[in-house]
């Protein structure tokens, strides 16, 4: 039980996919303009990661080693298609906001990376907890980045204006703001790590 909890927790802080492993950054930067978009993308990616981790750990014995990558990609693409169709049906506004980044979850290095580095060797239960932990870690990172960008870029949090006299700097809502925020956050987490190591 403690081991499973460990599998789950490692994705959130110690091996956070965004800040520690630096994987799957394309969607992270592109959709983090507002917190709602960030949460939507996080849930979509978590679902894909969970599904693909489970299926891949189930089929690991049947898949020949040489063609494993195409097999993994087909499994991942299937789950992405499910997410895409569900999102189109139930939340067209979110689907429009996320745009091409929903189909692009297929090539998110985080999902394929977990399949390759973990799920193809793990038991189903372990893979499930790993997928869940990684997905939640990814979602939390997205929420952090999008909260910073939404606050400084449009002066709002979850669509609510916080301070009356605050003039937002629109650069944070633009692509260059996304790159700046992720760069500074990565530097900050490195600083914390270095401090701890000393």
Partner 1 sequence: MNPAQFMTIFISAVFINNVILSRFLGLCSFVAISKETKPALAMSLAVMFVTTMSSIITWFIYRFLLIPFNLTYLRTISFILVIATFVQFVEMVIKKTSPPLYRFFGIYLPLITVNCAVLGVAVLNIDMFFVNAKALPGSFYYSVFQGICVGLGYTIAMLLMSGIRERLDLCNVPKSVKDFPLAFIIASIMSLSFLGFNGFKF
Binds partner 1 (CB under 8 A): choice among 61, 90, 160, 176: 176
179 binds partner 1 (CB under 8 A): yes
Reading the block at residue 77, the tokens are 């693409």
| CB-CB neighbours of 10 under 10 Å | 17
Binds partner 1 (CB under 8 A): choice among 9, 10, 15, 22: 22
Binds partner 1 (CB under 8 A): choice among 65, 164, 167, 194: 194
93 binds partner 1 (CB under 8 A): no
The burial of 130, by beta-carbon neighbours within 10 Å (0-12 exposed, 13-18 middle, 19 or more buried), is given as buried
117 binds partner 1 (CB under 8 A): no
23 binds partner 1 (CB under 8 A): yes
Tokens 């195409």 -> residue:
70
Rounded to an integer, what distance in angstroms lies between the CA atom of residue 105 and that of residue 51? 13
Binds partner 1 (CB under 8 A): choice among 103, 124, 151, 156: 103
Which one, 46 or 126, has the nearer CB to partner 1? Answer: 46
84 binds partner 1 (CB under 8 A): yes
Q: What is the DSSP letter of 68?
A: H
159 binds partner 1 (CB under 8 A): no
Q: Which CB contacts under 8 angstroms, 24+ apart, belong to 27-30?
A: 27/101, 27/104, 27/105, 27/108, 28/138, 28/141, 28/142, 28/145, 28/182, 29/145, 29/175, 29/178, 29/179, 29/182, 30/101, 30/178
Binds partner 1 (CB under 8 A): choice among 58, 78, 124, 151: 78
143 binds partner 1 (CB under 8 A): no
Residues making contact with partner 1 (CB under 8 A): 22-23, 25-27, 29-30, 69-70, 73-74, 77-78, 80-81, 84-85, 99-100, 103-104, 106-109, 112, 171, 174-180, 182-184, 186-188, 190-191, 194
């Amino acid at each position: 039980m403690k081991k499973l909890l460990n599998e789950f927790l490692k994705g959130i802080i110690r091996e956070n996919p965004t800040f520690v492993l630096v994987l799957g950054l394309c969607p992270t930067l592109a959709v983090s303009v507002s917190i709602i978009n960030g949460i939507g993308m996080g849930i979509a990616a978590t679902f894909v990661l969970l599904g693909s981790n489970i299926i891949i750990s189930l089929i690991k014995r049947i898949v020949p080693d040489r063609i494993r990558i195409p097999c993994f990609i087909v499994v991942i693409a299937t789950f992405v298609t499910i997410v895409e169709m569900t999102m189109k049906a139930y939340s067209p506004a979110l689907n429009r906001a996320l745009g091409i980044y929903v189909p692009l979850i297929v090539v998110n290095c985080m999902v394929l990376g977990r399949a390759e580095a973990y799920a193809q060797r793990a038991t189903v239960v372990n893979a499930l907890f790993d997928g869940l932990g990684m997905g939640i870690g990814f979602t939390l990172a997205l929420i952090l980045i999008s909260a910073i960008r939404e606050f400084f870029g449009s002066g709002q949090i979850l669509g609510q204006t916080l301070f009356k006299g605050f003039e937002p700097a629109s650069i944070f809502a633009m692509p260059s703001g996304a790159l700046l925020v992720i760069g500074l956050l990565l530097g900050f987490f490195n600083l914390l790590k270095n401090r701890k190591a000393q």
